[in-house]
Amino acid sequence: MFPSPSTPTPLKTEVAAGEVLRERHQRPASVLYLDSGRVLLGVREDGQLRHQLGAVQGPCWLDAAPALLGQACMVDMVADTRVQLRRMPLEAFRNGFEALPSPARALVVDMARGYCQQTELAVSRLAQDAEARCAQWLLRHAQHDDSGALRVTLHQRKRLIAAQLGIAPETLSRVLWHLRDHGLIAGTGSVLSLLQPGALQMVAGGG
């Protein structure tokens, strides 16, 4: 969004590959400028970057858009190679932005909003994909009870089921809560009733 930092910044910091530079929902007090190296953007689950949304190569700003809009980070950022970066204090970053001509500020804000909206949409689609996988799993393991209704008995712990689906346990819990809230399933123990198999099939087909 900007050229290399024009105000004095700390010396370059070298970070090894695999290190987490930013976490989703984090509100840091600084803005990262990537001098060199490659950084992966995505969503981490169980300590791993399971969903990659993109990659950036330095030199570039990493989290300037959300910092400019006062938003939390929308994605996890993980060093794919050894990287060199600088951290500019948030206040200094905003002061530098305010020093830009008014038309330039307006353009940059529009670009930042567009970037954040696109990123939020991409992350939300990942959540939809998780719902689809969970719905597919439920339908695949469903059996008719004596009354003819469909039920799923959870013979494994949710942690193991989540691992099979390639999602975090908390993601599985969140998806199941969402399906209950919409009346597609019922039950909170080891037995889940599929109240609307047709609607659940639509969710499964959305993946």
- Read off the pLDDT of residues 58-77 as tens digits, 9 standing for 90 and up: 999 999 999 999 999 999 99
What's the pLDDT at 3?
Answer: 42
CA distance 52 to 76: 9
In the predicted structure, residue 78 carries a pLDDT above the cut 70? yes
Element spanning 52, H or E = strand 48-57
What is the predicted pLDDT for the residue at 117? 92
> Could you give the 3-state DSSP secondary structure of residue 144?
strand
Distances (CA, A) of 168 to 50, 129, 163, 171: 9, 13, 7, 5
Q: pLDDT tens, 119-160?
A: 988 887 777 788 888 999 999 999 998 888 899 999 888 888
pLDDT class of 88 with cuts at 50, 70, 90? very high
In DSSP notation, 149-199 reads -EEEE--S-HHHHHHHHTS-HHHHHHHHHHHHHTTSEE-SSSEEEES-HHH
Degrees to nearest 5, angle at CA 115 with 107 and 207:
155
Per DSSP, the three-state class of 89 is strand
Rounded average pLDDT over 103-132:
88
Instruction: Say what the pLDDT of residue 10 is.
Output: 62
Q: How confident is the prediction for the chain on average, in pLDDT? A: 87
Q: How confident is the model at residue 207 (pLDDT cuts 50, 70, 90)?
A: very low
Amino acid at 2: F
Share of the chain above pLDDT 70, in %: 93
Residue 168 near residue 46, CB atoms below 8 Å: yes
